[in-house]
Amino acid sequence: MKVRAEVRNTSREVWRPEDGWAVSYHVIDPETGTLVSEGSRAPLARALQPGESVEAEVAVEFPPEPGRYRAYVSAMQEHVVWLYDR
């Protein structure tokens, strides 16, 4: 499933793709809160100054096993932060 999201930089720092800023997703089991899978990264199309936004498209893949899942699409910085978690 393809998901389009608007990513807005509400921080005071510039988000640069070369610094690991991207959009990705986590698939969670909502009953246990367990992380089921993590998606590939879609680097930001360009650096985002504070207050700027950019549209991103992410291909979300759910596990083949039947069940209830929740996907969190989020801006993230590799090895630093997933913004949905804040």
Q: Taking the CA atoms of 60, 34, 84 and 76 in sequence, report the sign of the dihedral they define.
A: negative
Q: Are 29 and 66 in contact (CB under 8 A)?
A: no
Residue 44: what pLDDT?
Answer: 95
Side chain identity at 49, as an amino acid letter?
Answer: Q
Q: Is the pLDDT of residue 86 over 90?
A: no
Residue with the two structure tokens 């509400």: 10
Residues 10-15: what's their mean pLDDT? 97
Q: Could you report the per-residue pLDDT of 25-83, keeping only the tens digit for each?
A: 999 999 999 999 999 999 999 999 999 999 999 999 999 999 999 999 999 999 999 99
Residue with the two structure tokens 């969670």: 28
pTM of the model: 0.90
